[in-house]
A and B are shown apart, each in its own frame.
Chain A
Amino acid sequence: MSNQEEKQEVGEVTYIYNEFENWTVNKGEKTIHAKRMPGFFRRLKDYTQFSLWLPFFLLPYLRWNGKQAILFDIEHRQFHFFNLTVLPQDIWMLSLVLLVAAMTLFAVTSVASRVWCGYFCFQTAWTDWFTWLEEKIEGNPIARRKLDEAPWSFDKIKKKGTKHFIWLLISLFTGISFSIWFVDAFDYWNNLIHLQLPTVGWVVLIMFLLGTYILAGLLREQTCFWLCPYARIQGVMGDSQTILPTYDYNRGEPRSKIRHGGQVVAPQGDCIDCFQCVQVCPTGVDIRDGQQLGCITCGLCIDACDSIMVKINKPRGLIRYASLDELLGKPVRKMYQHPRTLAYIGIILISLAGIIWGLTHLGSMTLKVMHERQPLYVVMSDGTIQNKYDFKVLNKTDKDFRVKVTAEGGIKDQVIIGAEELPMTHHGRGTSFTIFVRAPGANLNKDTTQIQFRVENVDDPNVYGEYNSKFYGPKRR
Chain B
Amino acid sequence: MSDKHDVDGVPTTGHVWDDNLGDLTNQPPKWWMLGLTASAIWVVAYWLYYPSIPVSNTQSFFKGFGGWSAISEMEADKSVVDEVRGKYEDKLKGMTPAAILADSDLTEYVTRSGKVLFGDNCAACHGQNGVGTHDKQGLFAPVLNDDDWLFGGKIDEIHTTITGGRQGMMTAHKGVLSDAEITTLANAVAAGKPTSTPLFAEKGCTTCHGEDGKGIAAMGSANLADGIWRFESSPEGIKRTIEYGVNAGTPETRVAVMPAFQGGKLSDSEIKKLAVYVYKFGGGQAEAPVAPVAAEAVPAAEAAPAPAPAPVVAK
Among A409, A413, A444, the most chain B Cβ lie within 10 Å of the Cβ of A413
Contact with A along B199-230 (1 / 0, CB 8 A): 00000000000000000000000010011100
Check B312–A438 contact: CB distance below 8 A: yes
Residues of A within 8 A of B4 (CB): 21
Bound complex: CA A440 to CA B306 (Å)? 10
Residues of A within 8 A of B223 (CB): 381
Q: A interface vs B, CB < 8 Å?
A: 21, 372, 374-375, 378-384, 386, 388, 405-417, 419-421, 423, 432, 434, 436-440, 442-445, 449
- Contact partner of A436 (CB less than 8 A), chosen from B108, B143, B282, B315, is B282
Check B129–A374 contact: CB distance below 8 A: yes
Smallest CB-CB separation from B227: which chain A residue? A383
Residue B133, interface by CB 8 Å: no
Residues of A within 8 A of B311 (CB): 384, 413-415, 438-440
Check A406–B303 contact: CB distance below 8 A: no
Residue B292, interface by CB 8 Å: yes
Bound complex: CA A419 to CA B227 (Å)? 27
Of the A-B pairs whose beta carbons lie under 8 Å apart in the complex, a sample of 30, sorted by A's number, is A372-B129, A374-B129, A375-B131, A375-B143, A378-B282, A379-B146, A382-B313, A384-B311, A386-B145, A388-B281, A405-B293, A406-B295, A406-B296, A412-B298, A412-B303, A413-B308, A413-B311, A415-B292, A415-B293, A415-B311, A415-B312, A416-B292, A417-B312, A420-B292, A423-B104, A440-B309, A440-B311, A442-B309, A443-B304, A443-B306
Residue B79, interface by CB 8 Å: no
Q: How far is the CB of A464 from chain B (nearest CB, A)?
A: 14
Contact with A along B130-152 (1 / 0, CB 8 A): 01000000000001011110000
Check A409–B282 contact: CB distance below 8 A: no
Bound complex: CA A440 to CA B280 (Å)? 21
Residues of A within 8 A of B34 (CB): none
Residue B35, interface by CB 8 Å: no
Say yes or no: A380-B147 contact (C-beta < 8 A), given A406-B295, A415-B292, A415-B295: yes
Contact with A along B271-315 (1 / 0, CB 8 A): 000000000111100000011111111110011101011011101
Residues of A within 8 A of B309 (CB): 382-383, 440, 442
Check B227–A409 contact: CB distance below 8 A: no
Main secondary structure of the interface of B (DSSP, over half): loop
Check A378–B306 contact: CB distance below 8 A: no
Check B128–A374 contact: CB distance below 8 A: yes
Q: How far is the CB of A314 from chain B (nearest CB, A)?
A: 39
Residues of B within 8 A of A409 (CB): 298-299, 302
Check A442–B304 contact: CB distance below 8 A: yes
Check A384–B131 contact: CB distance below 8 A: no
Bound complex: CA A259 to CA B290 (Å)? 107
Shortest 9 CB-CB contacts between residues of A and residues of B: A381-B226, A412-B303, A443-B304, A381-B148, A382-B313, A413-B308, A378-B145, A415-B292, A375-B131
Check B295–A416 contact: CB distance below 8 A: yes
Say yes or no: A379-B228 contact (C-beta < 8 A), given A374-B131, A444-B304: yes
Bound complex: CA A462 to CA B104 (Å)? 26
Bound complex: CA A411 to CA B145 (Å)? 20
Check A419–B298 contact: CB distance below 8 A: no
Residues of A within 8 A of B303 (CB): 412, 443
Bound complex: CA A436 to CA B292 (Å)? 10
Q: How far is the CB of B212 from chain A (nearest CB, A)?
A: 14
Bound complex: CA A217 to CA B291 (Å)? 74
Say yes or no: A415-B228 contact (C-beta < 8 A), given A378-B283, A440-B308, A440-B309: no
Bound complex: CA A420 to CA B104 (Å)? 13
- Contact partner of A437 (CB less than 8 A), chosen from B104, B105, B295, is B295
Among B296, B304, B308, the most chain A Cβ lie within 10 Å of the Cβ of B304
Bound complex: CA A78 to CA B315 (Å)? 47
Check B129–A375 contact: CB distance below 8 A: yes
- Contact partner of A386 (CB less than 8 A), chosen from B282, B290, B293, B315, is B282
Bound complex: CA A475 to CA B22 (Å)? 85
Check A381–B146 contact: CB distance below 8 A: yes
36-54 of chain B: CB within 8 A of chain A: none
Bound complex: CA A388 to CA B145 (Å)? 10
Check B298–A381 contact: CB distance below 8 A: no
Q: How far is the CB of B193 from chain A (nearest CB, A)?
A: 14
Q: How far is the CB of A406 from chain B (nearest CB, A)?
A: 6
Q: How far is the CB of B138 from chain A (nearest CB, A)?
A: 14
Residues of B within 8 A of A445 (CB): 304
Residues of B within 8 A of A412 (CB): 297-298, 302-304, 308
Smallest CB-CB separation from B313: which chain A residue? A382
Residues of B within 8 A of A372 (CB): 129
Bound complex: CA A386 to CA B313 (Å)? 12
Check B143–A378 contact: CB distance below 8 A: yes
Q: How far is the CB of A379 from chain B (nearest CB, A)?
A: 7
In the complex, given contacts A380-B147, A415-B292, what are 20 additional A-B residue pairs having Cβ atoms less than 8 angstroms apart?
Answer: A374-B128, A378-B143, A381-B147, A381-B313, A384-B312, A384-B313, A406-B296, A409-B298, A410-B298, A411-B304, A414-B295, A414-B298, A415-B295, A415-B312, A416-B295, A419-B293, A420-B292, A423-B105, A443-B304, A443-B308
Bound complex: CA A445 to CA B305 (Å)? 9
Smallest CB-CB separation from B309: which chain A residue? A440
Bound complex: CA A437 to CA B295 (Å)? 9
- Contact partner of B294 (CB less than 8 A), chosen from A381, A415, A443, is A415
Residues of A within 8 A of B129 (CB): 372, 374-375
Residues of B within 8 A of A380 (CB): 146-148, 228, 283, 313
Bound complex: CA A405 to CA B299 (Å)? 18
Q: How far is the CB of A429 from chain B (nearest CB, A)?
A: 13
Smallest CB-CB separation from A444: which chain B residue? B304
Bound complex: CA A160 to CA B149 (Å)? 87
Q: How far is the CB of A430 from chain B (nearest CB, A)?
A: 12
Q: How far is the CB of B41 from chain A (nearest CB, A)?
A: 21
- Contact partner of B292 (CB less than 8 A), chosen from A378, A417, A423, A444, is A417
Residues of A within 8 A of B228 (CB): 379-381
Q: How far is the CB of B296 from chain A (nearest CB, A)?
A: 6
Check A407–B147 contact: CB distance below 8 A: no
Q: How far is the CB of B143 from chain A (nearest CB, A)?
A: 7
- Contact partner of B145 (CB less than 8 A), chosen from A375, A415, A437, is A375
Q: How far is the CB of A407 from chain B (nearest CB, A)?
A: 5
Bound complex: CA A463 to CA B80 (Å)? 38
Q: How far is the CB of A246 from chain B (nearest CB, A)?
A: 31
Check B227–A411 contact: CB distance below 8 A: no
Residues of B within 8 A of A439 (CB): 311
Among B281, B299, B303, B311, the most chain A Cβ lie within 10 Å of the Cβ of B311
Bound complex: CA A405 to CA B214 (Å)? 34
Residues of B within 8 A of A379 (CB): 146, 227-228
Q: How far is the CB of A268 from chain B (nearest CB, A)?
A: 33
Bound complex: CA A459 to CA B188 (Å)? 54
Q: How far is the CB of A363 from chain B (nearest CB, A)?
A: 22
Q: How far is the CB of B100 from chain A (nearest CB, A)?
A: 15
Residues of A within 8 A of B315 (CB): 381
Q: How far is the CB of B16 from chain A (nearest CB, A)?
A: 25
Bound complex: CA A445 to CA B104 (Å)? 36
Bound complex: CA A411 to CA B305 (Å)? 12
Q: How far is the CB of A366 from chain B (nearest CB, A)?
A: 19
Q: How far is the CB of B288 from chain A (nearest CB, A)?
A: 12
